Amino acid sequence: MFVLTFAALLALHAPLLRLPYFWDEAGYYVPAARDLLLTGSLIPRSTVSNAHPPLVMAYLALWWKLAGFAQIVTRTAMLMAAAFALLGLFRLAKTVANTEVAVTTIILTAVYPVFFAQSSLVHLDLAAAGFTFWGVHAYVKGRGWETALWFSFASLTKETAILAPLALFGWDVLSPLVPVKGSDRSLGRKARNSISLLFPLLLLAAWYGFHYWQTGFVFGNPEFFRYNVKATLNPLRILLALLVRLWQIAGYFHLLMLTAAALFAMWLPPLPGPSGERPRIALDVQFAMLSVIVAYVVAMATVGGAELARYMLPAVPLVILVSVSTLWRRVPQSRAVLRIIGLMFVAGWFLNPPYGFAPEDNLAYRDYIRLHQHAEEYLEARYPMARVLTAWPGSDELTHPYLGYVTRPMQVVRIEHFAVEQLMSAADLHSNGAGPDFEVALVFSTKYEPAHPLSEHWRLWQEWKARFFDYHRDVPPAAAAQILGGNLVYTETRHGQWIGVIEMERMVDAQNHGRARQIEPQVEDGPPARHPHARPSADAYCGGVWGCWAGGALCIPPKGLDDPEELLEPDEFCCSGGADTCNAGCAGVVIRPPRSIVGS
């Protein structure tokens, strides 16, 4: 089964095996594994430590030692981990259900867009999920210390994997209070297994002790801890994150089709089998898996700065398993239904949903990598000695050739992101000579945004995303060139993602000219024709802040102006220098956007 699964994954991922490293791969996991290969240190040296346990990094370092440091080696090694995870899920599903349910479960899991995309990426969550499946399988079989072994591997892969043994321990403690039909586990046997579930906690504590001894920090560098723990402990944020996690566990990327079908199937009677009705997964096993699912939903809603779907990978396949078993037991045409759902999962590899999502959740990550490959090859060829203004992870891609984007390091000036306020600050520094200068800018989309997102008119949700989840709107390349005062010399788009290279010019200080600088757009069909003082029918939401139209130009208000339309008249301009409005001109930049971003 392992060989067959690995061969299938390898064939499906063949076009992706030589891709450069992406996002968190480039920002942490690959540098940490490379440091282990070069120095033997379990604590990263070339990047700040996030205190993640070192098992996956050690696994990759071993493969690189044996087969060489190359993307194809890395991605093949991660596919082997994915195949091992699917094998563990197969063993679990076959034990609690039957072979047909087990085969269907691993096929649907393998083609589920998030699992499929993560299969060849250097992240910890899928490998941790694999050890978790093996641990749950051993738990169901009543093998106490084998359970402890698998969950120890899981916890040394990623710290959040400790949730599964703790959840099962909690279920063992509470289950005597919940009468479960068909349970055949004696209290003495359960108590022995329960004690073994605490062993992984000791190993994880030992790792954190070692990390503290080496770095002086227990849970990673202070900024990592602030972002993932301190900044998340707000009741409203926890509630919003809980809704996101429930969506990810039950509806994300066509998963809703499967869970809704299973829910509706509960109204149907069980189908007849060889000896009575078709059997269900034992209720005590279902409750045990439910405890793991609930633990992940609640814990990942409470901590974790980014609400990434991959964090739920140890739990989602359990939902798939129970759903498949329910359909097999109750729906006469379950095979046809599951085939349709499988095809929808495969379509999710290529078709983006009508809501924002992380590119790493389907093949959108390939589009991101190709965009950055092309743009950074152009940068290196045309501006090899230039200082480049960009944001992470582009800054790492340009400075670390081993990530696969450039052949030699380039100089970078880093900003946080490409929202209006960051670009205006960079433009001010560039024009005033008050900070590091730059000759070129590399701007790119840091997230996927559909053309017409479902929540685009729900302003409160936009504010909550910005407040609790670091949400911002990236300014498109043409508008970014106008703000920075440069020329857009390269741009490329792929399925809603984009990248651009801007060659800088010296901006004219608007204060010296006594009026706002209006930067004309670079568009093929020319700027939209309108009366100089005509206001369009609707204001624009662009770049992460509300903009209004004044004097025919897009006016970006300073922070604190919640309703620009009430404050501004057609002849007034917004000032980035601090004043709310000024009739005689503006010390900042007023942008006249191209047709393509009007109303975006």
CA angle 261, 263, 266 (to 5 degrees): 110
- Interacting residues of 546 by C-beta distance below 8 A, sequence separation 6+: 539, 557, 561, 562, 563, 564
If asked whether residues 357 and 368 sit together in one domain, one would say no
Read off the pLDDT band of 207 (50, 70, 90).
Answer: very high
Residue 451 lies in a domain: yes
Count of the separate structural domains present in the chain: 3
- The whole-number pLDDT of residue 524 equals 33
If asked whether residues 323 and 200 sit together in one domain, one would say yes
* pLDDT, average across residues 426-439: 82
- The whole-number pLDDT of residue 357 equals 92
**Percentage of residues of the chain with pLDDT beyond 70:** 81
Residue 515 lies in a domain: no
Most confident stretch, 421-435, 539-553, 564-578: 421-435
Residue 157 lies in a domain: yes
Bridge partners, 541 (sequence order): 546
Would you say residue 184 has pLDDT above 60? no
If asked whether residues 225 and 132 sit together in one domain, one would say yes
* pLDDT, average across residues 80-99: 98
Would you say residue 502 has pLDDT above 50? yes
| C-alpha count within 13 angstroms, C-beta hemisphere, residue 556 | 26
Task: Look at residues 13, 15, 32 and name the one whose alpha carbon lies nearest to residue 24.
Answer: 32
If asked whether residues 346 and 413 sit together in one domain, one would say no
If asked whether residues 338 and 463 sit together in one domain, one would say no
Q: Which is higher by pLDDT, 318 or 225?
A: 318
pLDDT in tens, 22-58: 999 999 999 999 999 999 999 999 999 999 999 999 9
If asked whether residues 503 and 537 sit together in one domain, one would say no
Bridge partners, 391 (sequence order): 415
Would you say residue 544 has pLDDT above 70? no
Structural domain for 586, as ranges: 525-597
* pLDDT, average across residues 587-594: 34
Average pLDDT of the residues of the chain? 84
- The whole-number pLDDT of residue 1 equals 87
Tell me how far apart the alpha carbons of residues 394 and 389 are, in angstroms, rounded to a whole number: 10
Task: Look at residues 570, 584, 574 and name the one whose alpha carbon lies nearest to residue 546.
Answer: 574
- The whole-number pLDDT of residue 356 equals 84
- The whole-number pLDDT of residue 182 equals 58
If asked whether residues 199 and 130 sit together in one domain, one would say yes
pLDDT in tens, 258-307: 999 999 999 999 999 888 899 999 999 999 999 999 999 999 999 988 89
If asked whether residues 451 and 494 sit together in one domain, one would say yes
If asked whether residues 473 and 540 sit together in one domain, one would say no
Would you say residue 528 has pLDDT above 80? no
- The whole-number pLDDT of residue 436 equals 76
pLDDT in tens, 107-134: 999 999 999 999 999 999 999 999 999 9
Read off the pLDDT band of 381 (50, 70, 90).
Answer: very high
- CATH assignment at residue 491: 3.40.50
* pLDDT, average across residues 17-21: 98
Residue 517 lies in a domain: no
Read off the pLDDT band of 506 (50, 70, 90).
Answer: low
If asked whether residues 187 and 53 sit together in one domain, one would say yes
**Percentage of residues of the chain with pLDDT beyond 90:** 69
Q: Which is higher by pLDDT, 152 or 585?
A: 152
Read off the pLDDT band of 458 (50, 70, 90).
Answer: confident
Read off the pLDDT band of 330 (50, 70, 90).
Answer: very high
Task: Look at residues 358, 541, 353 and name the one whose alpha carbon lies nearest to residue 446.
Answer: 358
